[in-house]
């Protein structure tokens, strides 16, 4: 399975890199790849969130027996593991493929960063939707933009850190 992901990652990297030249003066290739992969995963997250919120949950509360979740929070809980996995695979095999950290270390660190993002998403949705009465989908978009910026810093410096060569 790793070989398949590596091949797909190489192919995606070539496709993304094809579009990089006009952005050469603005950002590094790694930042461009992060933006492309993150942007694609963010769009996937927003579309999936919209579909779950409107068509799966039909804007209704989700009663799990022991707790009842509002539809905007239940949508977040349903979508989160799916987009977490797709995001990890894109970052590992496309953006930060030079990292030599073991996959399970990367996954653990990625999960720590994403868990922090989940808390920020939860608190942000509670604030924007329940307190400020902003619609759920735009609220999710605003929060996602904030967490993407924070994530790049942590993914680059922590999750997929590249060991510096000693001379």
For the chain, give the longest Cα–Cα distance: 60
pLDDT computed for residue 152 by the predictor: 86
Q: What pLDDT score was predicted for residue 71? A: 93
The confidence score (pLDDT) of residue 100 equals 86
**Residues 6 or more apart in contact with residue 116 via CB below 8 angstroms:** 150, 154
- pLDDT for 167 equals 46
Question: What is the per-residue pLDDT for 83?
Answer: 93
Rounded to whole angstroms, how far apart are CA atoms 10 and 2?
A: 12
As for how many domains the chain has, the answer is 1
pLDDT of residue 164: 65
Cross-strand pairs, 62:
69
Q: Name 68's bridge partners.
A: 63
- The answer to whether residue 154 sits within a structural domain is yes
- Decide if 111 is inside a domain: yes
Whether residue 165 is contained in a domain is answered as no
State residue 57 phi and psi, 5-degree precision. -90, -15
User: Is 164 a member of any domain?
Assistant: no
The whole domain housing 115 covers 2-159
**Does any domain span residue 100?**
yes
> Which runs of consecutive H residues, i.e. helices, occur in the chain?
2-18, 29-51, 71-90, 103-125, 136-154
* Any domain includes 54: yes
The pLDDT score that the predictor gives to residue 165 is 54
Decide if 44 is inside a domain.
yes
Asked if residue 53 belongs to a domain, the reply is: yes
- Per-10-residue mean pLDDT of the chain, 167 residues long, equals 94 97 95 93 93 96 93 91 94 91 91 90 92 92 87 89 64
């Amino acid at each position: 399975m790793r070989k398949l992901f590596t091949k797909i990652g190489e192919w995606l990297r070539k496709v993304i890199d094809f579009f990089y030249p006009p952005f050469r003066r603005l950002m590094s290739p790694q930042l461009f790849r992060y933006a492309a992969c993150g942007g694609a995963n963010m769009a996937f997250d927003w579309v999936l969130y919209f579909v779950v919120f409107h068509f799966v949950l039909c804007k209704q509360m989700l009663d799990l027996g022991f707790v009842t979740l509002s539809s905007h929070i239940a949508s977040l809980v349903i979508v989160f593991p799916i987009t977490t996995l797709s995001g990890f695979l894109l970052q590992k095999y496309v953006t930060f493929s030079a990292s030599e950290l073991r996959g399970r270390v990367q996954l653990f660190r990625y999960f720590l960063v994403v868990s922090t993002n989940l808390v920020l998403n939860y608190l942000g949705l509670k604030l924007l939707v329940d307190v400020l009465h902003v619609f759920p989908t735009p609220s999710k978009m605003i929060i996602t933009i904030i967490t993407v910026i924070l994530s790049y810093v942590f993914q680059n410096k922590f999750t997929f850190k590249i060991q510096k060569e000693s001379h």
